[in-house]
Amino acid sequence: MDQLVSHDHARLIAQLESIGDVGDAEKAVLATLPLRIRHFPANRDIVRQGDKPNECCLILDGFVCRYKLVAHGRRQILSLHFAGDLPDLQSLQLTQMDHSLGALSAARVAFIPHEAMRAIIRQFPSVGDLLLRHALIDASIFREWIANVGRRTAYERIAHLLCEVQVRMKALQIADGDRFELPLTQTALGDATGLSTVHVNRTLQELRRDDVIQTEGKFYSVRNWERLQEIADFDISYLHMRAEAAP
Amino acid sequence: MDQLVSHDHARLIAQLESIGDVGDAEKAVLATLPLRIRHFPANRDIVRQGDKPNECCLILDGFVCRYKLVAHGRRQILSLHFAGDLPDLQSLQLTQMDHSLGALSAARVAFIPHEAMRAIIRQFPSVGDLLLRHALIDASIFREWIANVGRRTAYERIAHLLCEVQVRMKALQIADGDRFELPLTQTALGDATGLSTVHVNRTLQELRRDDVIQTEGKFYSVRNWERLQEIADFDISYLHMRAEAAP
DNA sequence: CGTGTTATTGACCAACATCAAACTTAGTGG
DNA sequence: CCACTAAGTTTGATGTTGGTCAATAACACG
């Protein structure tokens, strides 16, 4: 059967398997989901605040973020998403987007009609459970971000963001050992951590100087994982990964 | 039928009706949910980070918050909950608590076995949809909090928190017009907004001086709702209320 | 090559934190 | 009902983190 499953559908299935069990029947139906594929260049919006989409989207390639704009043009990035993520499951239940979804790098995105999702959920409640689980893990990550931005110093915040990205990418097999690509400008890193560009720059320098991380362009390597976790006060449990997927 | 529904069950039903339609059959089953009722004094934990609960909880009276502790004893409050809220639906899918739930004032809380919830959901998928909706609105509020703490000044943050509380309490009919009770110490307000106690104190003074709000002990009155919203850059849509429930 | 974006640096400043003490309020037991 | 206590609020003085502004340097890409 496997050879009949497209690479793109396989990504979706792999994502769901990373958080729970997926039966063969479920896999078979998931593989039939219609995917309308579109390409986005970096910095292009995929869905906008205020939109009322009738499709969910699945990231197939590239880096995507959710963000909000607040008064005076300030931007806050709410979450980061990689290949396999379903960043707007909420649109199945909440008609209007309360935030935007934007590409951070060139991205390939699949759109899946809500109707098709709902049909599968009706037929296989277990798929509904997995999607619910995915949405709840999402919420857990938001909570951690509130704590990160609210109660950690710049140094700790950036360390924490790097810990999260490293672990999630490793689980999705996007990271190559301790090395991973993070195509965020320092301004975007600031938007994700509630800091100014200048301060992000100086904080990254500090992390490099302390030999915790190393960077070459958009590529980051963790030089001292123990120390990075310590600095960040990183506790992986909020990611609710299955034991097999956790590092 | 109504006279057979306990006041406590009615609260749960009212909460669900505030976000979607609830049929008569659904109401009837919801009214049979077993509620194990417990009382908590202020500052007592209801569920703790790391726990693996097998019940969901429903707030019946009082004020409750979710929070996380980060290194060096710092605390971040993640959300505020009032009578009618279901603050840990996630435990239906995520076994381990990634944060704690604590009483801010004396609180009466009902515990509902996961099994009973699941049974209802199996029987009435529409109830599952409503609960999912509730959880997704929760997540939307988390997103707004990330933006609040990450990208707003102290003055704006506190104004925003007050806007949210006022609107949500009004929808649940806990607020009395422009006046509502918010039994948070200034330290707790700081934990919710990522500020120090001293700065919360000074910021509240400023809001009072500008005649935007007025306080008497734990009671807050909004003196100038227009202005408060402006300061906070408050856009109600993230609360995803039904048109009838919104002010 | 130019041209626009991103990274880096320095100087300066503002918002907010910290510390410590005084004052107020609410609760408690005699 | 009052004195006592603990918790919460307010104030002042001072320190620090991180923001802002502006300029320069390093890249990336057509």
Residue B8 to residue B66: CA distance in whole angstroms? 22
Predicted local distance difference test score (pLDDT) of residue B246: 62
Is B177 buried (19+), middle (13-18) or exposed (0-12) by CB count in 10 A? exposed
CA dihedral sign, ordered B138, B143, B145, B148: negative
Q: Amino acid identity of B140?
A: S
Predicted local distance difference test score (pLDDT) of residue A245: 63
Predicted local distance difference test score (pLDDT) of residue A5: 85
Predicted local distance difference test score (pLDDT) of residue B61: 94
In this predicted model, what pLDDT tens digit does every residue of A142-184 receive, in sequence order?
999 999 999 999 999 999 999 999 999 999 889 989 999 999 9
Predicted local distance difference test score (pLDDT) of residue A67: 98
A210 vs B: CB within 8 A: no
In this predicted model, what pLDDT tens digit does every residue of B167-206 receive, in sequence order?
999 998 899 899 999 999 999 999 999 999 999 999 999 9
Predicted local distance difference test score (pLDDT) of residue A4: 73
Determine whether the interchain pair A194/B96 forms a contact, defined as Cβ–Cβ distance below 8 Å: no
In this predicted model, what pLDDT tens digit does every residue of B35-89 receive, in sequence order?
999 999 999 999 999 999 999 999 999 999 999 999 999 999 999 999 999 999 9
- Is the CB of A214 less than 7 A from some atom of nucleic acid strand C? no
B134 vs A: CB within 8 A: no
Provide the pLDDT confidence category of residue B245 given band limits of 50, 70 and 90.
Answer: low
Residue A133 to residue B7: CA distance in whole angstroms? 31
Are B195 and B187 in contact by the 8 Å Cβ rule? The answer is no
Chain A residues near residue B129 by CB distance under 8 angstroms = 93
In this predicted model, what pLDDT tens digit does every residue of B31-44 receive, in sequence order?
999 999 999 999 99
Predicted local distance difference test score (pLDDT) of residue A243: 76
- Paired with B215 in beta bridges are B220
Residue A85 to residue A39: CA distance in whole angstroms? 16
Predicted local distance difference test score (pLDDT) of residue A21: 93
- Shortest CA gap A92–chain B (Å): 9
- Is the CB of B183 less than 7 A from some atom of nucleic acid strand C? no
Q: How far is the CA of A68 from the C1' of D13 (A)?
A: 38
Residue B133 to residue B138: CA distance in whole angstroms? 9
Predicted local distance difference test score (pLDDT) of residue B59: 96
Determine whether the interchain pair A237/B139 forms a contact, defined as Cβ–Cβ distance below 8 Å: no
Considering only residues 149-168 of chain B, list those whose CB is below 7 Å from strand C. 153-155
CA dihedral sign, ordered B16, B20, B24, B25: negative
Nucleotides on chain C that have an atom closer than 7 A to a protein CB are 5-11, 15-20, 25-26
pLDDT above 90 coverage of chain B, percent: 92
Mean pLDDT of chain B: 95
Determine whether the interchain pair A136/B194 forms a contact, defined as Cβ–Cβ distance below 8 Å: no
Predicted local distance difference test score (pLDDT) of residue B4: 73
Pick from B56, B151, B152, B163 the residue to mutate for testing the A interface (most A CBs within 10 Å).
Answer: B151
- Shortest CA gap A196–chain B (Å): 10
Chain B residues near residue A227 by CB distance under 8 angstroms = none
A70 vs B: CB within 8 A: yes
The list of chain A residues with pLDDT below 70 reads 1-3, 244-247
Pick from B89, B143, B145, B158 the residue to mutate for testing the A interface (most A CBs within 10 Å).
Answer: B143
- Is the CB of B108 less than 7 A from some atom of nucleic acid strand C? no
- Shortest CA gap B4–chain A (Å): 31
In this predicted model, what pLDDT tens digit does every residue of B3-32 receive, in sequence order?
578 999 999 999 999 889 999 999 999 999
Provide the pLDDT confidence category of residue B242 given band limits of 50, 70 and 90.
Answer: confident
